Amino acid sequence: MKVLANDGVSESGIKALENAGFEVLTTTVAQEQLTNYINENQIDVLLVRSATTVRKDLIDACENLKIIGRGGVGMDNIDVDYARSKGLHVINTPAASSQSVAELVFAHLFGGVRFLHDSNRNMPLDGDTKFKALKKNYAKGVELRGKTLGIIGFGRIGREVAKIALGIGMKVIASDKFVGKATVKVEFYNGQFINVEIETEPMKDVLQHADFITLHVPAQKEYVIGEKQFNLMKDGIGIVNAARGGVIDEVALIKAIESGKVAFAGLDTFEQEPTPAVQVLMNGRVSLTPHIGAATNEAQDRIGTELADQIISILR
């Protein structure tokens, strides 16, 4: 049987599949050529990440397909219900990248409170001539310890974020439509751990009381955070979106930054990927990464082996 990993897959995943007798192809096929390639090569399993879409037309045209796999959590680039109605298995790896995304959230948070995103832009330009002025500009940072982190969406990734927050001494409050309370296990290097039970609250309460907000929700038809929600927040709040583009109204975000309501934002996902709005990219109070939340070596290894295990289980 043949597996096409069109957006790539880790070497560990390839080895696991090959050891089970699968042929793994890692050719990156252009979207418009994908249907023909799948049919000509009799592909049984199509693996994608976020770059490749799998819509009804491809599903209908590729009768040999048995499994569609998404390396990651969100499956908004796949017509999941339609594929399953046609008898295909649709799989993903919801737990594999949680730690990586959580750490990126804190990269944005730590950078934001100490102005690293702006300092790293300006030091190469003016560090040799305006060192004292830059030092003064960036000398009013704050600590995360003792502050309140509001987590919108308290699933796997939200709870991983909570673990880090609790570990550095933050208070954690959370909101989730489907989770009433959760026990967060904070583990330490030597095998010790503590369990912290967190009860979720209405989102408006989280928005009003948090010093920082991070979002971990799936793609929505409407904004989760817009002008109305920004108005509920404390002045000088920091906000991070490493979930999905479109959950924050970016026009309202820039307006909130310019008014001083939002001190800084960290964005890993954008409304207009892969061409984010220039107003977002050029704003000095926005910390930017190009949708790399799951892009660590460790996460990719976990994604590859988890996909391989599921494929082998289904087809063998």
> For the chain, which residues make up each domain, given as ranges?
2-94+297-315, 98-288
87-122 core/surface letters (b: 16 or more CB in 10 A; e: else): ebbbbbbbebbbbbbbbbbbbbbbbbbbbbbbbeeb
Instruction: Output the pTM of the full model.
Output: 0.90
Same fold, 2-94+297-315 and 98-288: yes
Look up the CATH superfamily of 2-94+297-315: NAD(P)-binding Rossmann-like Domain (3.40.50.720)
pLDDT reported for residue 50: 85
Residues labelled as active-site residues:
244, 273, 291
pLDDT reported for residue 73: 84
pLDDT reported for residue 74: 82
Provide the 3-class DSSP secondary structure of residue 47: strand
Structure tokens at 34: 């994908």
Q: What is the pLDDT along the chain (316 residues), one digit of tens a residue?
A: 999 999 999 999 999 999 999 999 999 999 999 999 999 999 999 999 988 999 999 999 999 999 999 998 889 899 999 999 999 999 999 889 999 999 999 999 999 999 999 999 999 999 999 999 999 999 999 999 999 999 999 999 999 999 999 999 999 999 999 999 999 999 999 999 999 999 999 999 999 999 999 999 998 899 999 999 999 999 999 999 999 999 999 999 999 999 999 999 999 999 999 999 999 999 999 999 999 999 999 999 999 999 999 999 999 8
> CATH: 3.40.50.720, 2.50.20.10, 3.50.40.10, 1.10.10.10. Which one for 98-288?
3.40.50.720
pLDDT reported for residue 206: 98
pLDDT reported for residue 63: 95
SS (H, E, C) 178-240: CCCEEEEEEECCCCCEEEEEEECCCHHHHHHHCCEEEECCCCCCCCCECHHHHHHCCCCEEEE
CB atoms within 10 A of CB 219: 15
